[in-house]
Amino acid sequence: MANNTFVTQPSLPPLDDFIPYLREIWESKNLTNGGPFHQRLEAALCEYLGVEHIALFSNGTLGLVTALQALRVTGEVITTPYSFVATAHSLLWNGIKPVFVDVQADTLNLDPEKIEAAITPQTTAIMPVHCYGHPCDVDAIAKIADTYGLKVIYDAAHSFGVQTETGSVLRYGDLSVLSFHATKVFNTFEGGAIVCPDAKTKQRIDHLKNFGFVDEVTVVAPGINGKMNEVCASFGLLQLQGVDEAIRLRGEVDIRYRQGLESVRGIRCLGDAGERVKNYSYFPIMVGVEYGMSRDELYAKLRSEGIYGRRYFYPLITDFPMYRGLPSAARSNLPNAAKAAAEVICLPIYPSLEKDIQDKIISIIAA
C-alpha cells in the first residue's frame, strides 16, 4: 500500500510546529468547551473567509444536523442526489423528507428550474451543495427562496475559501456548513463549522451544539454535543498558516491535468462555475462513450497500476435503500445526476502529489 497513490492526502505541517500548541493545552488543561484555541480559530476563520460569524463543530455532519434545527426546518427539503450521503442523512435525522431534483449537466449543482418545479405546500427549505467547490447558481436559488418563503442551507463542505465576484460563497443562503475533515482542503483532523449571518443565530447554534446550555443551570433547547475540542482547534490554527500555499499547489496539479488530458478523446475535465477564487478541492473527469472503455473499466485499470481515484459520487444518494423508495428518487427524474454517477472519476489531487506520479496517471488515461 505504501507505493499506492490515493485520491487525496492530508497536508500536514511539521510536527515540531505543532508541539508548542499541544504544550499550551497541556499546561492549561483546557481541552474543550469553547477554550482559547476554539475562540482564536473562530476569529481567524472569520477573518480569512470574509464572514461575520462562525460556529465550530466536531464535524460537518453535526453542523448540517444542527443548522436544520437552528432554522426549525420541517416538512420537505429540496436537495441533490449527487453528493456525499451526509447531505441527505442530516434531513432524515431531523425527521425531514428529502425531495431530490436533478443537477445541471455542466456544473453538477442543483438545477434552479428543477427546484422551482418541485416545490409543494410542504416545502420549507432548499439544501444545495457547491459540488467540488464550484458555486451553485446562488442568485437564482435566492430568488426562488424569496418568492416562496423558503430557507436555504448550503452544504459547503467542498467550498473552503471559494469566492464569487461578490465575495465569499459562504455568505449566501441562511446558513452555510463547512467540513474540516482530513480529506478537505483545510482540515482540523475532524471538524466542521456553520457560517452564521448574525450574532443571534450564532448564539442559538452555540447553545444547540452544547446540549442547549446557556449557563450551569439553564437549558433552553434539546441540544447535542457538537463542540470542537482544543487539540483540533489548535491544529486548525496551524493549518490556516499554510492553506494558501496548499491551494496554490493544488492549482498547479489542476493545470497539469487539464493540459495533459485536453486532447484525450472521450475524456472531459469538469469546468468551473464562474468563481473568482477557486480552491481546487477535487479533480473530476467525465469518461464518455467515445473514450473506448467505460468509467468502471478505467477505474479498475488505474487501480491495477496503484492509482486509487474515487467515483465521487457513486452510487447516487437516491440508490441507497433509505431513499430509493421516494418518488423523487426515480432515475427518470434525475438523468444528469445518473449520467454523472456513471461517468465521473475524481483523480488524485493534493499539494505533495509528485509530477512523475501525475504524469503516470495522465499516461495511463491517454494510452
Sheet strands side by side (includes 267-269): 267-269, 284-287, 344-346
Supply 240's cell numbers. Answer: 490556516
Q: What letters, b where the CB count within 10 A reaches 16 and e where it falls short, cover 47-68?
A: ebbebebbbbbbbbbbbbbbbb
Whole-number Cα distances in Å, 8 to 60, 105, 349, 356: 18, 25, 6, 16
Q: What is the DSSP string of 238-259?
A: HHHHHHHHHHHHHHHHHHHHHH
Query: What is the CA 195 to chain-centroid distance, rounded?
Result: 13
Q: Which residues contact 356 (CB under 8 A, 6 or more apart)?
A: none
Q: Which helix (H) or strand (E) holds 314?
A: none
A 10 A CB-CB count for 18 gives: 16
The 3-state DSSP class for residue 4 equals: coil
- How many degrees, rounded to 5, is the angle at CA 41 between CA 236 and CA 138? 90
Active-site annotation holder among 114, 184, 209, 278? 184
Verify whether residue 184 is a known catalytic residue.
yes
What is the C-alpha to C-alpha distance for residues 171 and 175, in angstroms, rounded to an integer? Answer: 8
Dist. CA 198–CA 216, nearest whole Å: 25
Is the Cβ–Cβ distance between 62 and 255 less than 8 Å?
A: no
Active site amino acids: 184
